[in-house]
Structure 1
């Protein structure tokens, strides 16, 4: 640990203290050596406000990473990109159950609920992608990735209360050219990327074709099936056709097809913690009753013993038609898109090698259509504007199932009060000691969801005096969501007549929630260009995230009937304040952007659970108020053409201001629920009294570190016709909670990850380099979670160990 800290400190010191020679030289306009989000030369063109602008002039806290840098750092998907972006968090227990958060906000921590939308919009070439699972795919032929921080509701809609990730791919070219890249590494990692572009009809019709193939063996070994899991197996194809119909009209037809089949995802034994369930029903006693021990008590031995099928196959694709028509005083843009998403999972949701829950899966199919039309002024004078309309239609069909196995009765049901018989039960007739009570108990769930949304919006940019910009924006939005949830529960004998214990584990439910609402949101920004290279701004935004409907089953009342009042959740209401300063100096060789923000969210949408034994997915509810505040900085240092470095950082204070009826953490769960004037027992008291709910006001939101940093750089020396180079990238974050209600058992410790690369390149023609990621082989968790039923078992998803390999690319 000391050795790692010394290396980290040395690298950081080198980044900050390296001398700055040759400051009078012209700064290069496009440096692929380091992330453009940090190496901003001021000439990068972005579309963060739905028009092309110089990045440093946009009064938004944002980061831009070019496709060249994505390739050089090995950040070929969003999970890897987050290591370079301190304010960005990405969590994924499997592709469907993924979440993108910015500044700690975006999606509730927990398993995905189809009836709820994300708070961070994910966009591909201007098309909103309605399923966040698409964000787990590889970046293919990317021009740049823009990460916009803070509410973007005026121009990007209700799905962007926390920010947006905007991916722009490379456009077809009227000059023939292409690129091929191949990588090989340990765990039999293989990746190939290729693209080709050129004219079909000179100056009229151009095509671009690109593909990506990624394979890697799994990093966790299943001793039961003798296979490795957590593999990489991604295939992507993308094609674009550009028709220059006239000098002022371009039409682009794009299509993509993607398949991901990673044979994942598992969470393995991490630790145990005391709950308030009776001691005979906590993990140690239950495991002993079956004579069970996990294959290893050290999760970083990376072994598991799954006794149920595992799969996470998803398929995604779509087509879009984008038209840009320059009418002189305005440009008319139309984006028409259709997309689909097909999810075919299988999971071992009891996380142990015992047949407790033998099937837990929710295959899902989504289709979406969207149409956006915008008018953007071309004057560039005192008044610019963007106005538009947006329509979105989405349909989701899900076929869920959950099956209990022969070990479920003993694991889930109460064996009675001691003294126990030899079989561990108080009586011979106890249901807990009769495997047939729950064996084969099956819940078959048919879930439907439809979503229609329409919006009109506008954004002005008025410059009353030179350098001063006043920029108001408004968006009027309508939403309608309709759903259907039907759960049919049968016993192992096929009967729908259930006893109390069976209904307590899997209860039949049938309900049809709906939600509709109009909402007006907006923002107001004042910015001032002190000089061409110094831009200050202040923003207030009033935003919202659409209300949702519960489509993962409802909590049960005392008689095990669904509580219908929990069918819907209220919209989130967001008040956001931000000030920022974007600067460049020393002939643009130094860039320093800083931002401070304060965000308050009313009726924050959270995932909660209850005491029902068979509950795996939880349901949705509203916390009264959440507050997130902090500051960020992005800095790049360019002392010469030989050396580049960057340093980014974020401080984020995210907490529940008021959440008085929150789910309790594991150490306060599983006991007899208090009534009347009873007082809950101390945390972790076996057989104690548990509160019906917990007041977690003032406690921290899950998934967000108070401090996070990213730093690195590259040094090169001329060799022959090219240059040899050494690159380094690192990230550090402090500890964070991995449970919606902070628990002593689910804090993930802080630490740093270090990546290196050493290579040789000839301009933009040829490049070969070796790389190592997580160079010091740090063991850490991406996620921790508690096994359902308050057994005290804590399971985790280990991050990738050290990986290394070589990459060769050629441009032609």
Structure 2
């Protein structure tokens, strides 16, 4: 038993021991809320309350809504919450990012944490990829918009997802089962059962799901991508041995074995004709452009993304009389593996991971290993005859990450990269022939060059917090909350294995001056592809020897500490002029932890030219190395809102502004990943939600978000030398995947089918998005100094339609449904990027990661 698991077990056993004297109810009525037909209960303030009574912008989603929209995981939530956006690139386990109001962290670097926290049964999920399991057997799901750091703690500077699973009933046996079949050979089975083991005292509930689907991207090589093959099991014990205490213990296990994530080449480089000149039978690209996008055709080979995870959590609630205590402890073990031909072409250029076309025997896994333990203790009560509702608490988390990157160069590497970056201007295969100038006249082939890079991060977070609601009068209240957060992270990069003689020869030739000056940077930058460049590369003896990374921007190992602390806080004023209307204003200061860029280039030399020039001139220049650490992100958020209930219809409006400083950004240049802070960014706008029933059987929903999310015009203030050129190109530009206007509207009939005794369900939902940027950068700077637009950055505006029709038997035990999502088959891009190593500035090949096409099928549901 490792240290985290032992600590978690001790905490859980201690909570069970403390709970022996008494037990408490945990339903809404015990919190003073009696739900009726028009009340939606949420726990966004860590207290059960009507969503219309809390001064927070919240979209509350019931399980029925998820089913009607075909939402099986959080990736589809944008179809019912226009402020929400989630995208994946290359892998879902590493490359998934979540945004709310246009704000979030983009990138597939494990060192980056999300700006939108995901909490399942009160437990923080440390990375979006960890939280991508099926949404199964839920009680409710809440999308909280704006900073939530006071109550929800870590990394919620843009918002939070608060997901609660269904607990077992203490007095009845209940269960469900459903089975679905659809196009792309889609199969999905879910089932669950809850059974009292001691009547009115203790019960258990077990549920599970299995989902399988063919991939919707098909490659000319015969490979497919973006399929589904996953299962999940969950079990829980819930007990109330007395009226004062409750205990809930949950455990889950899941596996994913999928092919993800290939991309369509939507723009090919103008240097495509030169691949034959460099001796290749073909250029590795067949389908490309928008015809390939519409037809979902790709060019790559293998993409495998697997993961296994298990977790256990325990929740103790104890009514102490003067206060209610809540203690939540959790432990999660997550591991993933990816194998990718992530050059996105059919040539054998390079392989990330083991088991691919270029992989060498005996290589270790390419993936993440994450172990997380959390503890949270809260006390909540009332004072001054109920005029003060107070809450205090403490939180601790302990997370260990091992992120292992394995990449091997293939036999087509030098010819393909020479063609895609030099054309014919440097002769045939310069990446091969020029290595002779640094290797005694003998050219060196890069085939088989590889590296195994290990990145580790040990993170500890501790915080104490308070959240208090003061009722000044019957209609006026003030909320004050604050949290002190202390973050400590130890990050390191160690290269476990490497071999790349072509890189060493390129370094020799560049530093000795035997390679023509115009080709030196390209030769080293490409032959020494950062993921396979050895950290042991040496400089020529004529230049003093030592590590070549002291003279050139090459990978360097590091072992550093990141420390930060912050006070996050919120203040809200709420006025209820009538029983059914509320006005509120709030200010919140949010915080997202900084950390480490877990990439081989994170600590590169930033002033190589000056260092080499000084060495040759005999006037040494001090080296400046990039700091692999990035600063914590902070946000000041202002919000004014209105919530009103008009008969059966609820109408909510929120005006917001979020001012962000040290905004965290990750960029892929086509050769390497860089992570940096941008001095300032802002999102401001308005959200409108209207939902409710127009009669007993017909409900409507309409919501829209207008948000102008962009980098400041002076966003490069204080940017360090190694990233200022990249940061300056962002200034004044919209944030990535932040459309100005998004909207969702729908209508549902759920009632009797004439006088037959059968029930009938008909639902239609329309989702609209304005055009949105899909790349980190909109511009690039050419070697001439000119600045040009990167092509196909914007995804144009679109509508998507979901619909469902269902019939329920008179005994209400069975339902039969026909459904479709994205019925108009709108093919849209989530992320657009440079194709790795293919095309120089101004002639880039570009790839697009594609969102889901049209799906349709039938579902049968049973419940008892």
TM-score by length of 2: 0.80
Using the TM superposition, give the Cα deviation of residue 119 of structure 1 relative to its aligned residue in structure 2, in angstroms: 1.2
| Structure-to-structure mapping, 1:403-802, within 5 angstroms | 403-413=408-418, 423=428, 436-487=444-495, 490-491=498-499, 499=507, 500=510, 501=523, 504-506=528-530, 507=533, 508=535, 509-553=556-600, 554=602, 555-557=604-606, 559=608, 564-585=625-646, 587=647, 589-609=648-668, 614-615=671-672, 618-658=673-713, 661=716, 694-716=728-750, 717-719=752-754, 720-742=756-778, 743-762=790-809, 764-789=812-837, 791=839, 792-802=844-854
In the alignment, what sits opposite 1:214?
211
Matching residue of 2:786: none
1:597-652 deviation line (CA, Å, top 9, x unaligned) = 01101111111356xx742xx12111010011000011125221232211110001
Flag the 1:153–1:739 CA change in 2: closer, same or farther, 3 A: same
Distance 1:324 1:134 in 2: 27
Q: Secondary structure at the match of 1:81?
A: helix
Shift in alpha-carbon separation, 1:382–1:435, aligned structure 2, 3 A: farther
What whole-Å deviation, never above 9, does each CA across 1:111-140 have from its counterpart, x for those lacking one? 22x323211110000001112112321111
Match of 1:302 in 2: 296
8 Å CA contact retained: 2:739, 2:771: yes
Does the CA contact (< 8 Å) of 1:142 and 1:170 recur in 2?
A: yes
Q: Paired residue for 1:312?
A: 305
Partner SS for 1:171: coil
Distance 2:307 2:421 in 1: 44
Return 5+ residue gaps in structure 2 as ranges.
Answer: 1-27, 29-34, 354-364, 511-522, 536-555, 612-622, 779-789
Note the C-alpha offset of 1:414.
8.7
Measure how far apart 1:40 and its partner are.
10
Change (3 A) 1:692 1:644: closer
Structure 2 CA distance for aligned equivalents of residues 85 and 624 of structure 1: 29
Q: Judge conservation of contact 2:705–2:741 (CA < 8 Å) in 1.
A: yes
1:395 corresponding residue in structure 2? 400
Contact 1:131 1:341 (C-alpha < 8 Å) held by counterparts:
no
User: Is the Cα contact below 8 Å between 1:328 and 1:378 reproduced in 2?
Assistant: no
The Cα shift of 1:205 comes to: 1.4
2:436, 2:757 → 1: CA distance?
Answer: 78
- After superposition, the Cα gap between the structure-2 partners of 1:201 and 1:426, relative to the gap in structure 1 and judged at 3 Å, is closer
Matches within 5 A, 1:123-162: 123-162=119-158
Q: CA deviation at 1:262?
A: 1.6
Structure 1 position 510, deviation (Å): 0.7
1:334-354 Cα deviation digits (max 9, x unpaired)? 001101111111112211111
Give the structure 2 partner of residue 357 of structure 1: 350
- Partners in 2 of 1:426 and 1:269 — Cα distance? 24
Tell me: CA distance 1:266–1:416, structure 2 relative to 1, closer, same or farther (3 Å). Answer: closer
Structure 1 CA distance for aligned equivalents of residues 423 and 479 of structure 2 = 71
Distance 1:238 1:434, change over 3 A: farther
* Mapping 1:115-126, distance limit 5 Å: 115-126=111-122
- For CA contacts below 8 A with separation 6 or more, give which structure has more relative contact order: 1
> CA 1:63–1:288 in 2, change beyond 3 Å: closer, same or farther?
farther
Distance in 1 of aligned mates of 2:161 and 2:382: 26
Stretches of structure 1 lacking an aligned partner (at least 5 in a row): 1-29, 31-38, 274-278, 665-672, 675-689
Cα deviation, residue 157, structure 1: 1.2
1:90, CA displacement in angstroms?
0.4
Q: Displacement, 1:294?
A: 2.2
Q: In structure 2, which of residues 228, 234, 248 is the aligned counterpart of residue 232 of structure 1?
A: 228
Cα distance in structure 2, aligned partners of 1:635 and 1:156: 26
SS in 1 for 2:103: coil
Gap change, CA 1:59 and 1:652, over 3 Å in 2: same
RMSD over aligned Cα atoms = 3.0
**Counterpart position of 1:264:** 260
| Contact 2:179–2:188, Cα closer than 8 Å, also in 1 | yes
Verify the 8 A CA contact 1:481 1:514 in the aligned structure 2. Answer: yes
2:380 is matched with which residue: 371, 376, 383? 376
CA separation of 1:556 and 1:713: change in aligned 2, threshold 3 A:
farther
Q: CA deviation at 1:737?
A: 0.8
The question of whether the paired residues in 1 share the 8 Å contact of 2:338 and 2:352 is answered with no
C-alpha distance in structure 1 between counterparts of 2:304 and 2:313, whole Å: 30
Note if contact 1:341-1:367 (Cα within 8 Å) is conserved in structure 2: yes
2:323 is matched with 330
Determine if contact 1:421/1:427 at 8 Å carries over to the other structure: no
TM-superposition CA deviations, 1:712-758 (whole Å, max 9, x none): 11135534112223210120101111111224422111101111111
Task: State the secondary structure of the residue aligned to 2:151.
Answer: helix
Structure with greater proportional helix content: 2
- Report the secondary structure of 1:246's partner residue: coil
Residues 431, 437 of structure 1: 8 Å contact kept: no
Say if 2:255 and 2:308, in contact at 8 Å, map to a contact too.
yes
Equivalent pair of 1:436/1:492 in contact (CA under 8 Å): no
Deviation at 1:228, TM superposition (A): 2.8
Residues 695 and 744 from structure 1, CA distance in 2 versus in 1: closer, same or farther, beyond 3 angstroms?
Answer: same
Please report how far the alpha carbon of residue 110 of structure 1 lies from its aligned counterpart in structure 2 after TM superposition.
Answer: 2.4
Tell me the residue number matched to 2:274: 285
- 1:15-164 equivalence runs, <5 A: 42-93=38-89, 94-95=91-92, 96-107=94-105, 109-112=106-109, 114-164=110-160
Q: Tell me the distance in 2 between the aligned counterparts of 1:633 and 1:158.
A: 28
Q: How many residues align?
A: 735
Secondary structure, aligned partner of 2:792:
coil
- Distance across 2 between alignment mates of 1:417 and 1:48: 56
Secondary structure of the structure 2 residue equivalent to 1:60 = coil
Counterparts of 1:419 and 1:314 in 2: how far apart (Å)?
44
Alignment of 1:180-191 (within 5 A): 180-191=177-188
In structure 2, the CA distance between the partners of 1:431 and 1:58, relative to structure 1 (3 Å rule), is farther
